[in-house]
Structure 1
Amino acid sequence: MFSIKTTKNNLGITITGDYRDLNELHTGLSNLVGYEEEIEGYEDISLRILGICYDLRHAYMGDREIELVHNGINDEIKKWHGKLYPDYNVYYSVNILWIEAIFSALVLEDIINIRWDKRLSKKYIVETEDFWIPDDMDREEIEKKVKIEKEIRLPYDIAIVRLYQASIWKALNDVVGINRYRRLRNLVLQDDYYGSLKYHGFFTQYLDILNMEYIYGKPEKRNTLLAALIRKLIKLDKEYYDIEEDIREFAKENDIDYRDVQLTNVNYPEELEW
């Protein structure tokens, strides 16, 4: 089972697990999100979560951090079974910025609602030819098979993603403390009702603004700052809607899609002190 904890400097979370743990989490997240254009109104949001999937995949392929963890095997166990076993298991890990992590936990509520509710699925999920099939194979038959497999896996994928969400919230308590944690959870629950879609059409440029504020904020004040920024994500306020309007106007004036608007004051450091 994968685990999630805050990083040393509370800049983000560390997701840790063995090959199978991270592979299963990657599969669960990517199955729910689908491809970039698969859920109407969640295109940019899907890209952010697929970015996490990208890091997860590189982690369990060995391109991120690796550690050896003692697995409890001792000489008595080896003697009893008459076999040689390794004393350590290989665990892989990857870091994700706190704002990105908590936003994924929040918005996955919307996506789970869409996947689980057939009425919402019919309204928001766009059928796309999202994978390559050789010309000599029956596309219709393969797509039907894939669709059935995803349907069967859906409860399992949701369970994995629920653990991911719960693990993020649990790690958050270690940063902000129990009182702030309770207030934030209560804010989430106030708007939590069946079939609610809070982040439909959300402008993800806002995440970059919050990331900048958190990354360049004073490390010793991250517990209070993180709670304040998460509150802004839970209760979208005038600041968000003003930014959204500015982006819309800029996109219209320059005849471009609002998704292509890049903010000039966003500058991620080359190296992050996690």
Structure 2
Amino acid sequence: MLTMTNTPNHTGVKISGDYFDLDELNQAIYHVIGDENKYYDYAGSRMRILGISYEIRHAAQGDRNVESVFNGLHDHTKKQHSFIAPDKNIYFSTEVLWPEILYAAIALKDFVRLHREEAKFPDWNSHLHVIGRFQSLVLDCLHGQVPEEEYQAILKAFQQAAPVEEYAIQYIDFLNLKFIGMPKKQREKSLAAVALKIAMQDNDYLAFRSQVLEAANPNKVPIHEIRLQAEYPDEIEW
């Protein structure tokens, strides 16, 4: 079963599951976001989501974290059915920064909407249900980290979030790096505010986007191709 938990230092979330859980999520992501030429105005958002997908795929291959998890098989069950079997399953996991996963949950709303507009019977599309559960897990994990009043405001903001068409995805890098640089206590206190900033596309975001557009316009470069002049640390204290 796919699970999502807050990391010890409140830097991000840990996505865990067995190989089939992670592979199912990856297949659903690929299915919903389409190929690179399908939704051009969402190219930047597609890149961000594929970045998470990359980590999930490598986790499923055993390239990230590997752990054993109790599978519910008790000794009396083994005796009752006269067989020998392990009582633990192998789970794989990877970490994703909080601003990154929050943005993905919102951006996937747009991809799901676009996909539903094209699908003949979207209510019966299993990939859409997998994506919906993934988004719910993000918010459920967030629920455990913020006060109830703030969480209800976040839910409302996520429900009413503006489309991420031609979103300045560099802003997510900015938030990621800022979040990494905070002390643990500050990350705890700032998480709700970060979630709201991403959902509401506030004045800070709009000012940031204007700067990105200024950099893109002289050479008519697509907004998502402008690079933020900052580097991520080699090691992150999750």
Does TM, scored on the shorter chain, surpass 0.5?
yes
Mapped partners of 1:64, 1:99: distance in 2:
20
The residue type equivalent to 1:251 in the other structure is A
Q: Deviation at 1:75? A: 3.2
Equivalence for 2:167: 202
TM-score (norm 1): 0.81
Any stretches of 5+ residues in structure 2 without a counterpart?
Answer: none
Mapped partners of 2:42, 2:61: distance in 1:
28
Mark the CA change 1:4 to 1:240 in structure 2 (over 3 Å): closer, same or farther. Answer: same
Q: Deviation at 1:22? A: 0.9
Mark the CA change 1:8 to 1:177 in structure 2 (over 3 Å): closer, same or farther. Answer: same
Aligned pair partner of 2:194 in 223, 229, 232: 229
Equivalence for 1:272: 236
SS at match of 2:167: coil
Any stretches of 5+ residues in structure 1 without a counterpart?
Answer: 122-147
Q: Is the 8 A contact 1:68 1:91 kept in 2?
A: yes
Equivalence for 2:139: 169
* Percent identity for Structure 1 against Structure 2: 30
Q: Does 1:248 align with 2:213?
A: yes
Q: Does 1:65 align with 2:65?
A: yes
Which deviates more from structure 2 when the two are superposed, residues 238-247 or residues 49-58?
238-247
Q: Deviation at 1:34? A: 2.0
Q: Deviation at 1:179? A: 1.8
Root-mean-square deviation over aligned CA pairs: 2.1
Q: Deviation at 1:223? A: 2.4
Equivalence for 1:134: none
Q: Is the 8 A contact 1:36 1:44 kept in 2?
A: no
Q: Deviation at 1:71? A: 1.6
The residue type equivalent to 1:156 in the other structure is S
Equivalence for 1:263: 228
Equivalence for 2:19: 19
SS at match of 2:235: coil
Mapped partners of 1:63, 1:153: distance in 2:
35
Cα offsets for 1:82-141 (capped at 9, x unmatched): 3221121101111011001011111111111100013xx8xxxxxxxxxxxxxxxxxxxx
When the two structures are aligned, how many residues end up with a matched partner?
238
Equivalence for 1:3: 3
Mark the CA change 1:114 to 1:103 in structure 2 (over 3 Å): closer, same or farther. Answer: same
